[in-house]
Amino acid sequence: MPAALLALAIGAFGIGTTEFVIMGLLPEVATDLDVSIPSAGLLISGYALGVVVGAPLLTAIGSKISRKTVLLSLMGVFIVGNLVSALAPSYGVLMTGRVIAALAHGAFFGVGSVVAASLVAKEKQAGAIALMFTGLTVANVLGVPGGTALGQQFGWRSTFWAVTVLGVVGLLGILFLVPKQHVGEGPGLRSELAVFRNLQVWLALAMTALGFAGVFASFTYIAPMMTEVAGFSSGAVTWLLVLFGGGLVVGNLLGGKAADRSLMPSLYVILALLAAVLVVFVFTAHAQVPAAVTIALFGAAGFATVAPLQKRVMDKAPGAPALASAANIAAFNLGNAIGAYLGGLTIEHGLGYTAPNWVGAALAVAGLGVALTSGLLDRRRRTAGSTEPVLTTV
């Protein structure tokens, strides 16, 4: 595999770290900036909404620009956003920095996937893309716990300084290691947009948004849940995030293998399992050992959805996957924002730190309902012996 993939993986590692590390630092940020835990939780929602806007918008804007130039520009935006966050004197400025960094997120993974595939022979392209995304996976195993520990020891700003440095390293790696990329031919923006006339594309995006809303309704508030309910020390949150990260690595691999064998049945099982784990978490959160075990299972169930959901939207957007893939990344983050917001509402209304788990379970069940509806439409179409039609949803 070319060294250029390492540069892309470093960029992915930095982006994954800055997206998720805030969960472990909510108490520190809330105390330092004199805001409530739910208000601090909105920093996750703000980032997620930034991805929702930036993924399709910057992908479209960069469609006629050299891919290497696009990647360098996106890393520049990412660096600026984290620098603003590190220097933020107030909650509002920190939110602004989070949104700026988020704008680069979706487009980086979309364009980066195309670049990674172009660096190797056709029979190695899937492995190259997977290697780039390894940076995102490793961020949850090492970057998030490490960033949490750093922020707890030296202040939350130190974490954003560290991520800024990672961004600079990623930018330099792309500059010196990634070969010049020509503007892709592609199907054109008009053809890409045409896939959104397909009802099944929208159902796939809805599955993604609801499924990950279920994950983030709980995960956003994992730090206060573990310290205030389970009785862990703030320092133990780092190791709990390592458990979560280990679970998501296993879940991601198992989810991908299951999707290759049978996509929709896998989604049904995984979404049902996610809902069940979140219901169980309401009760196990009150004792340390059961809580730790449930966190690992939660990570596995939550991230087992990623590969099947991504594959589903790509299957329903043949011939024009780039913008659809970016839209799916936006849907993941829209779900993040919705879940973090709804979970925070339960805390604000005095229902306790375990209440977000009920919200997450309900959202996962809603995602399962959409999946069953989508699968039913597929079966009816196959029974009728017709090819998949393009359906107008508005």
Last residue of a domain, one of 147, 170, 185: 185
Q: Is residue 78 part of a domain?
A: yes
pLDDT at 392: 45
Of 243 and 132, the one with more pLDDT: 243
One domain, residues 272 and 368: yes
Shared-domain flag, residues 18 and 160: yes
Whether 264 and 375 have beta carbons less than 8 Å apart is answered as yes
Question: What 8-state DSSP symbol labels residue 184?
Answer: P
Do 264 and 336 fall within a single domain?
yes
The tokens for 225 are: 């849940």
Regarding whether 204 and 98 lie in a shared domain, the answer is no
Looking at the structure, do residues 174 and 311 belong to the same domain, yes or no?
no
Measured distance CA(237)–CA(306) in Å, rounded:
24
What CATH number does the domain containing 109 carry? 1.20.1250.20
Quote the crossing angle between the two packed helices 321-348 and 355-384, to the nearest 10°.
150
Distance (Å, whole) CA 40 – CA 177: 38
Is 271 found in the same domain as 133?
no
Predicted confidence band of residue 123 (pLDDT cuts 50, 70, 90)? low
Q: Token pair for residue 294?
A: 């449930």
The last residue of one of the domains, among 132, 155, 185, is 185
pLDDT at 390 over 50: no
User: pLDDT category, 144, cuts 50, 70, 90?
Assistant: confident
Quick one: 74 and 55 in the same domain?
A: yes
User: Lowest-confidence range among 51-65, 83-97, 148-162?
Assistant: 51-65
Q: Tell me, yes or no, whether 393 lies in a domain.
A: no
Question: Domain containing 200: what range?
Answer: 189-386
In whole angstroms, give the CA distance from residue 50 to residue 65.
Answer: 22
Nearest to 271 by CA among 370, 200, 338, 202: 370
Q: Looking at the predicted structure, is the pLDDT value of residue 193 above 80?
A: no
Judge whether 117 and 129 are in contact, CB under 8 Å: yes
For tokens 């996750």, the residue is: 44
- Among 31, 30, 48, 51, smallest CA distance to 39 is for 30
Number of domains into which the chain is organized: 2
pLDDT digits (tens, 9 = 90+) for 244-291: 888 877 887 788 778 777 889 999 999 999 999 999 999 999 999 999
Same structural domain, 50 and 155: yes
392: in domain: no
* Distance in angstroms (rounded) separating the CA atoms of residues 254 and 38: 33
- Do 169 and 294 sit in the same domain of this protein? no
Q: Which of 97-111, 177-191, 276-290, 291-305 has the lowest mean pLDDT?
A: 177-191
Q: Is 154 in the same domain as 276?
A: no
Mean of pLDDT over the chain: 85
In terms of domains, do 258 and 232 share one? yes
Alpha-carbon span 219 to 20, nearest angstrom: 9
Q: Is residue 394 a part of any domain in this protein?
A: no
Residue 252 belongs to a domain = yes
Name the burial class of residue 167, with classes exposed (0-12), middle (13-18) and buried (19+) by CB atoms within 10 angstroms of its CB.
Answer: buried
Instruction: Determine the residue type at 318.
Output: P
Classify residue 45: in a domain, yes or no.
yes
21, 70 contact by CB (below 8 A): no
What does each C-alpha distance from 366 to 141, 188, 252, 360 come to in angstroms? 29, 34, 21, 10
Domain identity same for 176 and 196: no
Mean pLDDT of 80-94: 95
Question: Residue 363 has what pLDDT?
Answer: 97
Question: To which H or E segment does residue 215 belong?
Answer: helix 199-219
The alpha carbon of residue 301 and the mean position of all alpha carbons in its chain are separated, in whole angstroms, by 14
Length of the chain (residues): 394
CA angle, 84 then 86 then 88, to 5°: 60
Range among 1-15, 22-36, 79-93, 379-393 with highest mean pLDDT value: 79-93
Q: Where residue 292 falls among pLDDT bands split at 50, 70, 90? A: very high
Is 7 inside a domain boundary?
yes
Given 170, 185, 200, which residue is the final one in a domain?
A: 185
User: The pTM is what?
Assistant: 0.76
